[in-house]
């Protein structure tokens, strides 16, 4: 009997290790997919309502197929609907501010502000049922936050407080901070929804409502006269024109593709991993590493293909590389601490 109990304990521990390993892999890969969707946001000038709305709705057939094929027997609890309906407006706001942020500044200048997400989750997750990290795990998350912050320091001359000062007058930083604040709550709503119902149903309902809501904002803004209109620019006319541009649909397609991948992996990973702050930390690490590599690659590609300097979208990605690489090393160290000693 004792031997059987020991075998069961070993089997249970092995299963936990496998699940945690899968969870971390999911987190890193989700971060890479997320970075890809963010690069797509930056690749064009399509209005954020149109890009986000159509991009989300293009994913609906995939979610519907996922729902049918998965045949998930998970019962739908009342909290599933509460969390989903609360998440929809949060997601709409998050995706709009994220698009605005990345279009104002370079990816590696705006993404490090997302380092605040795991730090804020250390406060919101225990309060919202997203899991409470261990003391060592908390230290590991804070090391990751510090590393991501260092990535955004623009050289010794600018000072270590440069990223914080930038938030005063940098629109990109301000938009990203708003997005980060929203995610510190919405990630816990993700967790609540998927433990109370099927992931496939959650994505189908959540993204369907959010995409529809974003498109409905266009006529609402026009009715209220909230779109910018000057002698040189008509925001609403620009949206109308984008609907008939072939290039717009290429951006819609890739944004939808990467967003679907991000969303499915994100929610599966959240369901596997017990603590939301750990998963989001891993996701941010994946995003940072992919953004660093892709930013450098795209910047060199623009130079090689002879794109005019004034027309380059990724020229800033190769600036201040010593700080970015140094911060990345700190981030990796913090991740190792969490994985080995965080009690994941």
Instruction: Tell me the two tokens of residue 297.
Output: 């690659």
Determine what percent of the chain is predicted with pLDDT higher than 90: 24
Instruction: Tell me which of 276 and 310 has the higher pLDDT.
Output: 276
Determine what percent of the chain is predicted with pLDDT higher than 70: 78
- The mean pLDDT of 73-99, rounded to a whole number, is 93
Can you give the pLDDT at residue 165? 67
Does the pLDDT value for residue 20 go beyond 80?
Answer: no
Residue 237, φ and ψ in degrees, nearest 5: -60, -35
- The mean pLDDT of 306-335, rounded to a whole number, is 74
Can you give the pLDDT at residue 285? 77
Can you give the pLDDT at residue 12? 44
Residues 93-117 pLDDT 10s? 999 998 888 777 766 566 666 767 7
| Of 13-17, 327-331, 333-337, minimum mean pLDDT range | 13-17
Kindly report the number of other CB atoms within 10 A of residue 237's CB atom. Answer: 11
**88 band by pLDDT with thresholds 50, 70 and 90:** very high
| Of 36-45, 125-134, 155-164, 313-322, minimum mean pLDDT range | 155-164
Model confidence pTM above 0.85: no
Does the pLDDT value for residue 21 go beyond 90?
Answer: no
The number of residues making up the chain comes to 344
Torsion of CA 213, 218, 223, 227, to 10 degrees: 130
Residues 149-183 pLDDT 10s? 777 665 444 555 666 666 677 787 788 888 988 98
Q: Which of 59, 85, 74, 72 has its CA nearest to residue 189?
A: 85
Residues 280-309 pLDDT 10s? 777 877 877 777 787 778 777 877 887 776
Residue 229, φ and ψ in degrees, nearest 5: -145, 115
Residues 225-264 pLDDT 10s? 888 877 667 788 888 888 888 888 888 999 999 999 989 9
Can you give the pLDDT at residue 163? 60
Can you give the pLDDT at residue 4? 54
């Amino acid at each position: 009997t004792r031997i059987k109990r020991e075998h069961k304990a070993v089997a249970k521990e092995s299963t936990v290790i496998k699940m945690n390993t899968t969870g971390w892999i999911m987190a890193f890969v989700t971060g890479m997919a997320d970075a890809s969707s963010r690069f797509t946001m930056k690749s064009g000038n399509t209005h954020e309502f149109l890009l986000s709305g159509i991009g989300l709705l293009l994913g609906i057939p995939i979610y519907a197929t996922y729902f049918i094929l998965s045949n998930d027997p998970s019962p739908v609890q009342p909290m599933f609907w509460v969390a989903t309906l609360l998440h929809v407006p949060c997601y709409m706001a998050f995706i709009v501010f994220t698009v605005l942020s990345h279009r104002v500044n370079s990816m590696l200048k705006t993404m490090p502000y997302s380092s605040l997400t795991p730090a804020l989750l250390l406060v919101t997750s225990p309060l919202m049922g997203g899991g409470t990290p261990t003391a060592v795990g908390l230290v590991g998350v804070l090391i990751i936050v510090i590393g991501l912050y260092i990535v955004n320091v623009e050289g010794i001359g600018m000072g270590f407080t440069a990223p914080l000062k930038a938030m005063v007058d940098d629109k990109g930083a301000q938009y990203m901070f708003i997005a980060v604040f929203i995610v510190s709550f919405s990630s816990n709503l993700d967790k609540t929804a998927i433990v109370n119902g099927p992931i496939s149903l959650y994505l189908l309902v959540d993204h369907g409502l959010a995409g529809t809501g974003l498109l409905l904002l266009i006529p609402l803004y026009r009715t209220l006269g909230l779109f910018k209109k000057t002698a040189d620019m008509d925001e609403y006319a620009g949206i109308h024109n984008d609907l008939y541009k072939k290039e717009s649909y290429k951006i819609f397609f890739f944004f939808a593709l990467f967003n679907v991948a991000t969303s499915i992996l994100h929610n599966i990973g959240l369901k596997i991993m017990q603590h939301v702050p750990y998963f989001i930390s891993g996701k941010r690490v994946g995003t940072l590493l992919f953004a660093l590599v892709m930013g450098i690659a795209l910047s060199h590609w623009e130079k090689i293909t002879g794109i005019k300097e004034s027309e380059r979208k990724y020229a800033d990605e190769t600036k201040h590389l010593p700080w970015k690489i140094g911060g990345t090393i700190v981030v990796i160290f913090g991740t190792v601490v969490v994985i080995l000693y965080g009690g994941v």
